[in-house]
Structure 1
Amino acid sequence: MHTYRIAVVDDDQHIRQLVETYLQKENMATIGLGSAEEAWELWRTHPPDMWVLDVMLPGMDGFEFCKKIRSDAEVPIIMISARDDEVDKILGIELGSDDYLVKPFSPRELVARVKRQLQRMKKLQSKDEPLPIDAADDYIDLGELRLLLHERRAIWRKNEVDLTSKEFDLLKLFVERPNRAFARDEILQLVWGEDYFGSDRAVDHLVKRLRKKMGDLPVEAVWGHGYRLNGGEC
């Protein structure tokens, strides 16, 4: 049985030790760190399976650290903060955190959210397992866009685009049903899973990242609803 390694980053030693104690009771291994700089060194040398990350850290804050990690990988991140402002919550989600919890919080609630994120990660990893040889066609073509499903790679106008797992899942959703308008809540359910806790602003941020990486990919906003891929312009 795999033992998950959770990095807990908080400059408050009491909170850090409390969180670690509850996670260890659930048979998870923990690494406690007091700054984002220490956390970055851990990421470079021995990356954990998941981060529990305080926003208010000395030096580099949690928002900046989350942004650095998310630009590199899709590892789960739960942000915790004493600040209850909606702006902070939205910023955390936009920068790529998977959940946001306000202090003071119940350690049991945090453990439950950690478990949900790990379950979601396990499902995503299972999607990356090799498919049977006799499976359906392993690619989808739409205009100048090709998705290699088994390899989870995207080719746009003859250039390969480096996508995270969620970016690929969102693009696959659009390509499989071009011109169909998806509501934000529907995208959350299909890409993040039914037990997702966060704001639907996560969808806007993911679409923004996809557009930035793929130039003039014709993903259109549907006012007051969500997004669609204009298949006629691919």
Structure 2
Amino acid sequence: MNAYRIAVVDDDLHIRNLVEAYLVRENYETIGLGTAEEALELWRSDPPDMWVLDIMLPGMDGYEFCRTIRREAEVPIIMISARDNEVDKIMGLELGGDDYMVKPFSPRELVARVKRQLQRWYKLKAEDEAASHDHASADIVVGELRLSIEERRVFWEGAEVEITLKEFALLQTLSQHPNRAFSRDDLLAIVWGDDYFGSDRAVDHLVKRVRKKIMQLPVEAVWGHGYRLRHEGGERG
């Protein structure tokens, strides 16, 4: 039996009930919500393992909800919308959505994508934890940046910075190889996994999030290629 609990956020009761019914058939636990405000209450009190999130919601929309969640943590999010517009899809993926489906959609296809995202997401999480265990003895220090691999903590100028799983993976990759330029495709494969099919602009958005948290972090854009962490001292400390 699947132990995963999935929150379905949609103000259309018919769609919400339909999606929940198909997920329950596959032995997932579900909770249905009609607004992003209700979803935020759930996130803060008893967060689910995954979100199926409508974009067009009354009050706070799905984009803003996704942005809020991504400031705090990483969790699988499938966005659904009646908007079949490339700009909307790109925006949803850039804000941290892991998949995007256009209404009307096949509930069976949605269930298949839910399974795929959960398998991919928690496989990456397990691999990340295993890698951190293998390298538990060594912190990474590059200038004023320090990463505690064992504890999954980040410090800038001695002060701790709250970081999500993907943000940590990005910082770990760049700081392990200071001054090396990573392409966006490289970073997508490392941080999101080889089977991620979203826009490479998701990398740009992730870098923006990290820069907001560590404003003096010397992450440089390499025009037409990707990013690197500049370190004047050469090798990391």
Task: Say which SS state the counterpart of residue 52 (structure 1) adopts.
Answer: strand
| Alignment root-mean-square deviation, CA | 2.0
Check whether the contact 2:144–2:158 (CA below 8 A) recurs between aligned residues: yes
**Are residues 1:131 and 2:133 paired?**
yes
Task: Say which SS state the counterpart of residue 92 (structure 2) adopts.
Answer: helix
Check whether the contact 1:116–1:195 (CA below 8 A) recurs between aligned residues: no
Look up the match of 2:13: 13
Check whether the contact 2:178–2:228 (CA below 8 A) recurs between aligned residues: yes
Percentage identity across paired residues of the two chains: 69
**How many angstroms apart in 2 are the aligned matches of 1:59 and 1:157?**
39
**Are residues 1:66 and 2:52 paired?**
no
Look up the match of 2:46: 46
Look up the match of 1:83: 83
**Are residues 1:170 and 2:196 paired?**
no
Look up the match of 1:209: 209
Alignment of structure 1 residues 107-126 onto 2, 5 Å:
107-126=107-126
Name segments (4+ residues, structure 1) moved above 6 Å: none
Q: Which amino acid aligns with 1:229?
A: L
Task: Say which SS state the counterpart of residue 31 (structure 2) adopts.
Answer: strand
**How many angstroms apart in 2 are the aligned matches of 1:158 and 1:38?**
37
Q: Which amino acid aligns with 2:49?
A: D
Q: Summarize deviations over 1:8-39 as a string: whole Å, max 9, x none.
A: 01112222122112212222111111222222
**How many angstroms apart in 2 are the aligned matches of 1:214 and 1:104?**
41
Q: Which amino acid aligns with 1:202?
A: A
Check whether the contact 2:221–2:228 (CA below 8 A) recurs between aligned residues: yes
Task: Say which SS state the counterpart of residue 232 (structure 1) adopts.
Answer: coil
Look up the match of 2:228: 228
Look up the match of 1:197: 197
Check whether the contact 2:49–2:76 (CA below 8 A) recurs between aligned residues: yes
Check whether the contact 2:72–2:163 (CA below 8 A) recurs between aligned residues: no
Look up the match of 1:22: 22
Look up the match of 1:103: 103
Task: Say which SS state the counterpart of residue 38 (structure 2) adopts.
Answer: helix
CA shift, 1:94, in A, is 2.6
CA shift, 1:137, in A, is 2.9
CA shift, 1:109, in A, is 2.3
Check whether the contact 1:8–1:31 (CA below 8 A) recurs between aligned residues: yes
**How many angstroms apart in 2 are the aligned matches of 1:81 and 1:136?**
42
TM-score normalised per structure 1? 0.91
Check whether the contact 2:136–2:150 (CA below 8 A) recurs between aligned residues: no
**Unaligned regions of 5+ residues in structure 2, if any?**
none
Q: Summarize deviations over 1:24-78 as a string: whole Å, max 9, x none.
A: 2222111111222222222222211111000111222111211222222212111
Check whether the contact 1:53–1:79 (CA below 8 A) recurs between aligned residues: yes
Q: Summarize deviations over 1:174-220 as a string: whole Å, max 9, x none.
A: 01111111111111111001121321111000000111111111111
> Aligned residues, how many?
232
**How many angstroms apart in 2 are the aligned matches of 1:35 and 1:145?**
39
Task: Say which SS state the counterpart of residue 18 (structure 1) adopts.
Answer: helix
**How many angstroms apart in 2 are the aligned matches of 1:92 and 1:36?**
15
TM-score normalised per structure 2? 0.90
